[in-house]
């Protein structure tokens, strides 16, 4: 049976209002307050297929992905978006793997009035070919997840999922598989894996063509599967 956030909140409110009464029938004055917000638990599995067999053109030595960054957040918060320029914090992670700088930048942008609007964590790392599974926890206000992993070596390339919404109306998504394409953060110039670090001021965009393919079509480099646990 699908869990519904609104329904759960209504039931919780009924419990608070009806919990306990004095002998004369009047309600008690002590409300029942939950220790934690109602949460939905998920797992996410990132599977990578960045092999020399799949991507033979100039395939780099020692290819791998950096630390996987997972951010659950409110719907209005955007970590990255295709067609827009990368933030300073996003650039710090993509180019240097600095997860702390990304979290600090988001905190500064959100402001104190929205404290608790996101959580950020490192979820291990994944090889060029491999998989990694990690847990996700959502609340009625934090219903989006952004997952990113930078590609090494590369100028500023990464794979990711931006602001995936676990809600479907009032219900929760049970399972979703999302294909991953290589993405250019637009912060460093270069169209080869070993390109020198030269500043660029371009927008975030998927990479179609070299070095991932000889034509305009780039195959998926992996996928992320998000599955509900409860």
Predicted confidence band at 228 (pLDDT cuts at 50, 70, 90)? very high
pLDDT in tens, 49-82: 999 999 999 999 999 998 999 999 999 999 999 9
Q: Where are the domains of the chain?
A: 5-15+39-228
Strands (E), 93-213: 118-127, 129-138, 144-152, 157-165, 167-168, 171-172, 175-180, 183-184, 188-189, 198-199, 205-206
pLDDT in tens, 188-220: 998 899 988 788 889 999 998 889 987 767 889
pLDDT in tens, 104-153: 988 888 765 556 789 999 888 999 999 999 999 999 889 999 999 999 99
3-state secondary structure of 10: helix
- 98 vs 12: which has the higher pLDDT: 98
pLDDT score recorded for residue 201: 86
* 5-15+39-228 CATH: 2.60.40.2130
pLDDT score recorded for residue 5: 43
Contact 50, 129 (CB under 8 A): yes
- Pairing verdict, β 118-127 and 64-73: antiparallel
pLDDT in tens, 146-185: 999 999 999 999 999 999 999 988 889 999 999 999 999 9
Q: Using the Cα atoms of residue 172, residue 174, residue 177 and residue 180 in order, give the sign of their dihedral.
A: positive
pLDDT score recorded for residue 114: 59
Integer Cα distance of 82 and 95 in angstroms: 17
């Amino acid at each position: 049976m699908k869990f519904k956030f609104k329904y759960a909140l209504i039931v919780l409110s009924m419990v608070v209002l009806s919990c306990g009464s004095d002998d004369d029938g009047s309600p008690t004055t002590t409300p029942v307050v939950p220790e934690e917000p109602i949460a939905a638990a998920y797992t996410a599995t990132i599977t990578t297929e960045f092999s020399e067999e799949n991507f033979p053109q100039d395939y780099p030595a020692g290819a791998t992905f950096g630390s996987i960054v997972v951010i659950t957040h409110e719907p209005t918060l955007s970590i990255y978006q295709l067609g827009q320029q990368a933030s300073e914090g996003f650039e710090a992670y993509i180019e240097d793997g600095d997860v702390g700088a990304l979290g600090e930048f988001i905190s500064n942008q959100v402001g104190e009035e929205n404290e608790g609007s996101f959580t950020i964590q490192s979820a291990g790392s994944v090889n060029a070919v491999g998989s990694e599974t990690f847990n996700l926890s959502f609340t009625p206000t934090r219903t989006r997840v952004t997952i990113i992993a930078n590609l090494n070596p590369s100028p500023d390339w990464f794979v990711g999922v931006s602001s995936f919404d676990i809600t479907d109306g009032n219900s929760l998504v049970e399972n979703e598989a999302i294909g991953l394409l290589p993405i250019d953060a637009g912060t460093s110039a270069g169209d080869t894996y070993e390109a020198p670090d030269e500043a660029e001021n371009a927008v975030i965009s998927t990479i179609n063509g070299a070095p991932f393919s000889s034509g305009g079509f780039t195959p998926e480099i992996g996928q992320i599967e998000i599955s509900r646990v409860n």
